């Protein structure tokens, strides 16, 4: 992709999808668009795109985005520390995949600063980037029917924490007691896009 | 005043115009599925358009009002009884204190809207009183025994309103952001045959059975933002039209987007009924931003 241009795809008459290629750039564009007051009801960063929904004039969006540079560093978000009890059912699987033991998994997992790049799947579920690509692990071939709230898992090089009990196919390392989603809080998500996350042993 | 819920049918929820600006946190928009019908019910009883109403799936609601109030029922024509007496559809009706309001199962359509003058005044959650049935953000679904607060009435009901003329037609669809993921002519397939509404359709999506829509390749789409009315196509090739409680992101390609003006029809379709699509021209290409 030409790093100096982003492609816009129309989505119906009042939305457009902007292709930027990766989640970090999508997060950076979404953050910029909010601060710049780009006309959209929803700005939704994802793995490779940003959706601008509820746009009165999608034709004007391309011009509005001229003010953004993909090279601009994203604004650093708030730091949050998440204590984890490392007793997940997939610790041994991950240890083998990483060529280490359980303690090695904990050391790798706690040794990285993650960034919440986007939310999805469920309210408060943040996709945390930071693990190097060579530590990517495959999802379970068949998802577990029920994963308890607070479970900390990996899928590919993403790390995530289940805000509520749900089915899921991520490789589980452990669990945390922090409340990821509380709809009575003014900021209901603990880890909105941009948050810097570190894991510590509980 | 309050409404005391005595009976419910398959699903009764509180709905207003939905929750905006939170899709990036994974929160569905929610809101009345047949938005024009909900808006009409509010107008009939003199409410502000932002007032919350009850969305009643296939009737079965019975509730007692502890004070006199104006009500109106719109959407699917559920017969309305007040203290056992038949009253009008899409018409402001007076309910005396202590009387019971009953919505019977409608003969056609699926979702009726009950507006009460003053609006259903449950506590808003994140700026809206709507219940989202995907992640259950918002007030809980309305169950037997619920006591629903009603706000102060705004004034007299409107003596007359023009109910929306029901003019169902094909769902107009514009080519979607991933139309190029499908074989040539896939949109013509979508617009060329009737699709049957499946039993697992709900507020999240209208699930359809019919000629499958074939993809060009087997690539996986990276998860991306989804809009209301998106026609998402999972590997089965059977389209799903995303409705108010759709997940804010999704990983299946969107072949088309149904016009917002036509989505009310999706609220009123029952399993086994058919729906048709008609093609609208692609929106102008917004182009690209260069730096």
User: Hey, are the CB atoms on B283 and A13 less than 8 Å from each other?
Assistant: yes
Domains of chain A: 7-65 (3.30.1360.40), 79-201 (2.40.100.10)
Annotate B216-230 with DSSP letters as a single string.
S--PPPPPEE--TTE
Question: ∠ at Cα B201 (B197, B207), nearest 5°?
Answer: 55
Answer yes or no: is pLDDT of A49 > 80.
Answer: yes
- Chain A positions touching B285 (Cβ under 8 A) are 8, 10
Q: What CA–CA distance (Å, rounded) separates A11 from B280?
A: 13
ipTM of the complex: 0.93
Check B24 against A119: CB less than 8 A apart. Answer: yes
Beta bridge partners of B252: none
Quote the pTM value. Answer: 0.91
- Contact by Cβ (8 Å): A71, A34: no
- For residue A57, the chain B residue with the least C-alpha distance is B286
For B178-217, how does the pLDDT look when each residue is reduced to its tens digit (9 = 90+)? Answer: 999 999 999 999 999 999 999 999 999 999 999 999 999 8
Q: Which string of b and e fits B56-70 if b means at least 16 CB within 10 Å?
A: bbbbbbbbbbeeebb
> Is A62 touching B (CB cutoff 8 A)?
yes
Question: Cβ B249–A46 below 8 Å, yes or no?
Answer: yes
* In chain B, residues 156-175 whose CB comes closer than 8 Å to chain A: 174
The first and second tokens of residue A192, run together, are 């909105």
Residue B231 in tokens: 């026609």
Chain mean pLDDT for chain B: 93
Domains of chain B: 2-149 (no CATH), 171-285 (2.40.100.10)
Residue of B nearest to A120 (CA): B26
Does position B82 have pLDDT exceeding 80, yes or no?
yes
Question: Which is more confidently placed, B99 or B166?
Answer: B99
Measured distance CA(A111)–CA(B173) in Å, rounded = 49
Chain A residue with the nearest C-alpha to that of B176: A11
pLDDT digits (tens, 9 = 90+) for A98-108: 999 999 999 99
Which candidate, B161, B148, B76, B91, places its Cα nearest to that of B118? B148
> Which of chain B's residues have a Cβ under 8 Å away from the Cβ of A120?
26, 223, 247-249
Report chain A residues whose CB lies below 8 A from the CB of B23.
Answer: 42, 44, 51, 53
Residue of chain B with shortest Cα separation from A4:
B291
Segment 23-52 of chain A within 8 Å of chain B by CB: 30, 41-51
Provide the angle, in degrees to the nearest 10, between the axes of the packed helices A91-98 and A102-110.
80
Cβ atoms within 10 Å of B136's Cβ, excluding its own: 14
B285 pLDDT above the threshold of 80: no
pLDDT of residue A3: 45
- Comparing CB atoms, the residue among B21, B24, B290 nearest residue A45 is B24
Give pLDDT, residue B235.
Answer: 85
Q: Which of A72-86, A94-108, B225-239, B254-268 has the lowest mean pLDDT?
A: A72-86
Is residue A139's pLDDT more than 90? Answer: no
Question: Which two structure tokens, joined as six digits, stand for B140?
Answer: 């809980």
Region A23-46 average pLDDT: 92
- Closest approach of chain B CAs to the CA of A22, in angstroms? 10
Nearest-CB residue to B289 (from A48, A66, A119): A66
């Amino acid at each position: 992709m030409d790093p100096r241009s982003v492609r816009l795809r129309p989505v119906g008459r009042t939305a457009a999808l902007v292709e930027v290629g990766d989640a970090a750039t999508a997060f950076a564009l979404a953050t910029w668009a909010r601060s710049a007051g780009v006309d959209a009801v929803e700005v939704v960063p994802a793995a490779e795109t940003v959706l601008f929904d509820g746009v009165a004039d999608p034709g004007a969006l391309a011009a509005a985005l001229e003010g953004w540079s993909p090279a601009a560093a994203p604004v650093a978000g708030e730091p949050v520390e998440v204590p984890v009890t490392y007793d997940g059912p997939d610790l041994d699987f991950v240890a083998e995949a990483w060529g280490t033991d359980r303690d090695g998994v904990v050391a790798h997992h706690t040794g990285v600063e993650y960034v919440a790049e986007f939310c999805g799947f469920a309210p408060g579920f943040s996709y945390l980037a930071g693990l190097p690509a060579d530590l990517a692990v495959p999802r379970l071939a068949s998802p577990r029917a029920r994963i308890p709230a607070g479970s900390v898992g990996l899928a590919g090089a993403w790390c995530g924490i289940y805000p509520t009990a749900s089915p899921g196919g991520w490789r589980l390392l452990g669990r945390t007691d922090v409340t990821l989603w509380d709809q009575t809080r003014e900021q209901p998500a603990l880890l909105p896009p941009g948050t810097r996350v570190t894991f510590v042993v509980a | 005043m309050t409404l005391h819920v005595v009976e419910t049918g398959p699903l009764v929820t509180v709905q207003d115009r939905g929750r905006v600006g939170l899709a990036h946190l994974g929160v569905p928009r929610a809101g009345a599925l047949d938005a024009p019908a909900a808006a009409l019910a509010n107008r009939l009883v003199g409410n502000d358009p932002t007032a919350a109403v009850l969305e009643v799936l296939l009737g079965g609601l019975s509730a007692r009002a502890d004070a006199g109030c104006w009500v109106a029922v719109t959407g699917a024509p559920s017969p309305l009884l007040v203290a056992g007496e038949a009253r009008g559809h899409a018409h402001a009706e007076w309910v005396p204190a202590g009387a019971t309001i009953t919505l019977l199962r409608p003969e056609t359509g699926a979702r009726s809207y009950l507006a009460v003058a003053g609006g259903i005044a449950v506590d808003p959650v994140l700026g809206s009183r709507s219940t989202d049935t995907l992640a259950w953000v918002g007030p809980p679904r309305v169950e037997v025994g619920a006591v629903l607060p009603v706000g102060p009435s705004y004034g007299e009901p409107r003596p007359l309103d023009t109910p929306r003329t029901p003019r169902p037609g094909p769902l107009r669809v514009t080519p979607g952001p991933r139309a190029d993921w499908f074989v040539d002519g896939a949109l013509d397939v979508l617009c060329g045959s009737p699709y049957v509404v499946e039993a697992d359709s709900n507020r999240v999506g209208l699930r359809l059975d019919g000629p499958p829509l074939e993809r060009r390749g087997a690539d996986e789409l990276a998860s991306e933002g989804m809009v209301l009315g998106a026609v998402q196509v999972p590997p089965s090739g059977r389209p799903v039209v995303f409705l108010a409680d759709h997940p804010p992101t999704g990983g299946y390609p969107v072949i088309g987007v149904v016009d917002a003006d036509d989505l009310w029809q999706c609220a009123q379709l029952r399993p086994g009924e058919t729906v048709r699509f008609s093609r609208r021209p692609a929106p102008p290409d917004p182009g690209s931003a260069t730096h």
